[in-house]
Amino acid sequence: MIVGRDHLRWIFTITAIALAATAAYVAYATLAPNGPRGGSPAGLGFAFLGTGVIVFECLLSLRKKYPASPLGRVSAWLRAHLWLGLLSFLLILFHAGFRWGQGLAALLMGLFAVITGSGIFGLALQNWLPRLMLERVARETLYDQIPRVIEELRGEADERVEFVTADLAVGGGTIELVRAGGVKRYFDPAQKASAQEKIDAVAAQRKQAAQIAIDETSTAALRAHYTQEVRPFLTLRPPELSRRLFRTPESLAAYFQFLRTILPVAAHQVIRDLEEICDERRQLALQARLHHWLHGWLYVHVPLSMAFLVLILVHAVVSLRY
């Protein structure tokens, strides 16, 4: 969620409520003969308001499951979740009289601090990482499509290298490539069969004999570098050696510049194609890492929030009973 001008009304409203609550707390703390206490009428009032906000906060997960619900847009719920969440932390501090407490109360305060901190951390990530992804991932794709795109890149790379080495004998069939323009559709089954026959004929010709002639030593060198270092990188989980070789644009460019120095000019176009393919795979790896960062904090924030809500109910029952 990007914090922009659409948040201004919430910021002003929550700030005004927070100032009013602060004024009420200062008056209450000053006039209370024994100081602020959680069990006093004012302390219970702050607890009631803070708990009500926390219950609303936990309803966001349920609201997301029904995006077509008439109960307001999800974006409006997200803005409310952000700013009301900060307000609830202040209200609970007023309820506790800014004391950490002991036992279950201390556990609740610790959990609430972690939940609030993780929410602020997630907000910072959501405002920073998308811009970083836009700058560094020029060939961004849908996250769920990354395995498919990697498979396509590996198929493309195999084809390029086999123009020089002939059959690589690495297994795997020809795949139908999917690009931004959409999937080609064959409305006539005979036409589709004919097209596939042409693809199979070209692949068979490429595998039987090299289409780009270079000396045997260079061919063996290209085959070895490709099968041992490049092709393993074009998998869903590359080994450490390949990740290290192609981790940055600089290391990737240096690797393929080295290949150009040991291979004849006739193979340089293939090397350039492989470099572009590996660079796209590198960007997909970066996109996956940023995606995990962008969403990983929720694995801390959401479960702790649910546990916190349950413990609040336990705390309320125990406090009112004893």
Strands (E), 37-111: none
> CA 218 → CA 222, 260, 267, distances in Å?
6, 11, 9
Query: What pTM was computed for the model?
Result: 0.72
What pLDDT, on a 0 to 100 scale, did the predictor assign at position 114?
94
pLDDT digits (tens, 9 = 90+) for 190-247: 555 555 555 555 556 556 667 788 889 999 999 999 999 999 999 999 999 999 999 9
Residue with tokens 């139908």: 176
What pLDDT, on a 0 to 100 scale, did the predictor assign at position 212?
84
> CA 247 → CA 185, 226, 254, distances in Å?
37, 17, 11
Average pLDDT over residues 108-121: 93
List all residues 6 or more positions away from 44 whose beta carbon is below 8 Å from its beta carbon: 38, 95
